[in-house]
Amino acid sequence: MSQTTPVTLSRKDFESGQEVRWCPGCGDYSILAALQSVLPELGVEPHKMVFVSGIGCSSRLPYYMNTYGVHSIHGRAPAVATGVAMTRPDLHVFVIGGDGDMLSIGGNHLIHALRRNVNLKILMFNNQIYGLTKGQYSPTSEQGKVTKSTPFGSIDHPFNPISVAIGAEAGFVARTHDMDRKHMMETFRRAHEHRGAAFVEVYQNCNVFNDGAFDDILKKDARPDMLIPLRHREPIRFGADGEHGVAVNEFGEPYVASVADVGEDNLLVHDEHRPDPTLAFSLSRLSTGPHMPTPIGVFRDIERPVYEVEVEAQVSAAIERQGPGDLAAVLASGRTWTV
């Protein structure tokens, strides 16, 4: 497993050569490209990487990666990946899935992988729609969504994935989007650097069933006023001329304000490493959907004990304490008698 010489890798090393088969214009292409661009820079050889996915359009991604990969079952990718990480803590394990996969059918596995802090890099492609089943509303679709299964509008209240992840005790939580390769690459790199479970929400356009879902915030001319970049130790500020910012009210709740109104010194300074998740959670509540100023970047990055490392530690401690397993001794560990 030793890496004595630094490996020089290129994007090609991560391409499986399988024909990529998403719909033309799908946001998944740019996410795949960003991934394949950043992976060679991580210094990890492809055979030490495992991509695990569930079911859905995005879950086809492992087939396109020249790494180890499992295209598993709907919603179960975080669990399958947990099995990989537990068995081989030395591997670099990525989990790929969509909003339906991870927040609906697989919601339970996602939150438990996060709370256990398994060293998984979980990339959730959020297009706010079920694409592979041809256009039903998803757990992140806005209320009132008219789809094939909701001709009179959906009644369900959507999840805020960042809030869910922080609520599930995730140590690393970030959001990025498919229109900004550089931002994606940087976010993926940060997720990989983090020791423990990392959750990245990627806003992704489904141009067939939910086209333009993020236009209000991601159209080039909308971005300055609608994206709130989070930068560690910097005042949270946005707008073409930095005229907007985030301040905190008397209850400790962040709100979007005009810098001129509140004053530069009263802007909230972002701290990814705050052990208490309250402020990060509040930041995730600034926006109730991609129609208003929305934070992107790293919400939270704190260190916690890593699950599989602790599993290994218990095994080593047991060997230290009891010596390596002696089967004959265990079989005869109860009362025995000889005939």
Partner 1 sequence: MAIDTTAADEVGSTKLDRVVIRFAGDSGDGMQLVGDRFTELSAAFGNDLATLPNYPAEIRAPAGTVAGVSSFQVHISDHDIVTPGDGPNVLVAMNPAALKANLRDLSPGSSVIVNIDSFTQRDLDKADYEANPLEDDSLGRFNVYRVPMTSITIEATKELGVKPRDAERSKNFFALGLICWMYTRPAKPIIEWIESKYSEKEQVRDANLAAFRAGRNFGETAELFDHPYEIQPATLPKGTYTNIVGNTAVAYGLIAGAQQAKLALVYPSYPITPASEILHELSKHKNFGVRTMQAEDEIAAAAIAIGAAFSGALAVTGTSGPGLDLKAEALGLAVSLELPMVIVDVQRAGPSTGMPTKTEQTDLFLALYGRHGESPLPVVAAASPSDCFDSAFEAVRLAVKYRTPVILLTDGYLANGAEPWLLPDVAALPDISVEFATSPNHDDGFWPYLRDPVTLARPWAVPGTPKLMHRIGGIEKEDGSGNISYQPENHERMVRLRQAKVEGISADIPPIEVDHQDGAELLVIGWGSTWGAIKAGVRRVRAGGHAIAQAHIHHLNPLPANIGEVMARYPKVLCPEMNLGQLAHLLRGKFLVDVQSFTKVTGVPFRAAEMEARMLEEIAR
Interacting residue ranges for partner 1, rule: CB under 8 A? 1, 16, 18, 45-53, 55, 62-63, 65-73, 76, 79-88, 90-91, 108-109, 112, 311, 314-315, 317-319, 321-325, 327-328, 330-332, 334-339
Output the smallest distance, CB 193 to partner 1, in A. Answer: 21
**Residue in this structure with the two tokens 């740019």, named with its chain if needed:** 30
**In 3-state terms, what secondary structure has residue 146?**
coil
Strands 172-177 and 294-301: antiparallel
Give the strands of the sheet with 244-248, arranged side by side.
237-238, 244-248, 254-258
Question: Would you say 6 or 323 has its CB closer to partner 1?
Answer: 323
Count CB neighbours of 299 within 10 A: 26
> Under 8 Å CB-to-CB from 216, ≥6 apart: which residues?
222, 226, 290, 291, 292
Residue of 274, 113, 297, 306 whose CA lies nearest to 194:
306
Output the smallest distance, CB 333 to partner 1, in A. Answer: 8
**Residue in this structure with the two tokens 């930068």, named with its chain if needed:** 231
Question: Would you say 105 or 283 has its CB closer to partner 1?
Answer: 105
Output the smallest distance, CB 125 to partner 1, in A. Answer: 17
User: Per-residue DSSP letters for 158-197?
Assistant: PP-HHHHHHHTT-SEEEEEETT-HHHHHHHHHHHHHSSS-
Question: Would you say 109 or 145 has its CB closer to partner 1?
Answer: 109
Output the smallest distance, CB 18 to partner 1, in A. Answer: 7
Output the smallest distance, CB 121 to partner 1, in A. Answer: 15
Residue of 114, 256, 300, 233 whose CA lies nearest to 95:
114
Residue of 258, 176, 264 whose CA lies nearest to 225:
258
Output the smallest distance, CB 302 to partner 1, in A. Answer: 22
Question: Would you say 24 or 327 has its CB closer to partner 1?
Answer: 327
Question: Would you say 169 or 216 has its CB closer to partner 1?
Answer: 169
Question: Would you say 104 or 207 has its CB closer to partner 1?
Answer: 104
